[in-house]
Amino acid sequence: MVHQEKRKAWSKEQQAYTREILEKVDPVAFLFSAAGENQGCCFNHLDGRYGYMEFQDALNCRFRLFDVQSHIPLASYDTIDDLIAGGWKVST
């Protein structure tokens, strides 16, 4: 049996992509949803959770994430770096 170690951080490339999307507030990232229902930009957490950020929040530099299914708030961060350090990245 192969033991998979839990990931402690996303790759530098994934972190850079997340920064780029959120710094530019790329509208394309906020218009597409793999789940079918457009809620905003989709995110993955290191622990396997999925969340989304609303376009208006990103425009206002409010880095709030909501659960994809229940829509309850999952986390809120002051900066993009805090969001990344908190284990989140833009879904790819």
Q: For 64-83, how does the pLDDT look when each residue is reduced to its tens digit (9 = 90+)?
A: 999 989 999 999 999 999 99
**Cα 70 to Cα 59: distance, rounded to the nearest angstrom:** 23
Cα-flanking dihedrals φ and ψ of residue 53, to 5°?
-120, 135
**Cα 51 to Cα 39: distance, rounded to the nearest angstrom:** 10
**What's the predicted TM-score (pTM) here?**
0.84
Q: For 8-63, how does the pLDDT look when each residue is reduced to its tens digit (9 = 90+)?
A: 899 999 999 999 999 999 888 888 665 566 679 999 999 999 999 999 999 999 99
Closest to 53 (Cα-Cα) out of 71, 41, 70, 36 = 41
**Cα 62 to Cα 69: distance, rounded to the nearest angstrom:** 21
Exposure letters 40-74 (e unless 16+ CB within 10 A, then b): bbbbbbeeeebbbbbbebbeeeebbbbebeeeeeb
Task: Please name the amino acid found at residue 6.
Answer: K
Q: Is the pLDDT of residue 1 over 60?
A: no
